Amino acid sequence: MLTICSRIVVPYDQSELSKQALETAITLAKQDERVELNVITVINTQTAVYNYVTFDSDPVRQAQLAEAKEMLNEVKEKLSGLPNKARTFIIEGSPAMSIVDFIVEENADLVVMGSRGLGGLKELFLGSVSHYVVQKSPCPVFIVK
């Protein structure tokens, strides 16, 4: 089967729309087992209050990492039924910029993400992360709404 994408990135924050984005990516991957899935979650280090002296063992950071791992374990479980190559990544940094850097570095050819995430201001159509990624991504972005 001919596909227009072979390496998909799914930015995942456990919001309802990011769950739907993951389902959409899985549906696309089922079309052809050569399609690769990369699910990434970014821990926002810009809003975190860490003690940088004890950065490695900082309890806030450790709790965030543990939560992200648990979240991605559920995702891994979900992906394990597919014959496709599927990977999960935890990145620490600015969500918007880290996602775009990842897309570029991994040479992705499609991003599938939610229009909104866990943030509050629902009157906007796009959140700050999806807005930035749509603007800066070198490849097409499939927005689930």
Binding residues vs Mg ion (CB under 5 A): 117, 119, 127
Query: Rounded CA gap, 8 and 106, in Å?
Result: 10
Tell me the closest approach of the beta carbon of residue 32 to ligand ATP, in angstroms: 23
Burial class (CB in 10 A: 0-12, 13-18, 19+), 7: middle
Contact pick of 28, 37, 116, 137 for ligand ATP (by CB under 6 A): 116
Contact pick of 37, 103, 113, 137 for ligand ATP (by CB under 6 A): 113
How far, CA to CA in Å, does 29 sit from each of 62, 74, 98? 33, 18, 24
Read off the amino acid at residue 23. Answer: E
Tell me the closest approach of the beta carbon of residue 57 to ligand ATP, in angstroms: 23
Q: Which is nearer to ligand ATP, 34 or 145 (CB)?
A: 145
Tell me the closest approach of the beta carbon of residue 120 to ligand ATP, in angstroms: 6
Query: Rounded CA gap, 75 and 14, in Å?
Result: 10
102 binds ligand ATP (CB under 6 A): no
Query: Rounded CA gap, 22 and 82, in Å?
Result: 13
Binding site for ligand ATP (CB under 6 A): 11-13, 15, 17-18, 21, 40-42, 44, 95, 113-114, 116-119, 127-130
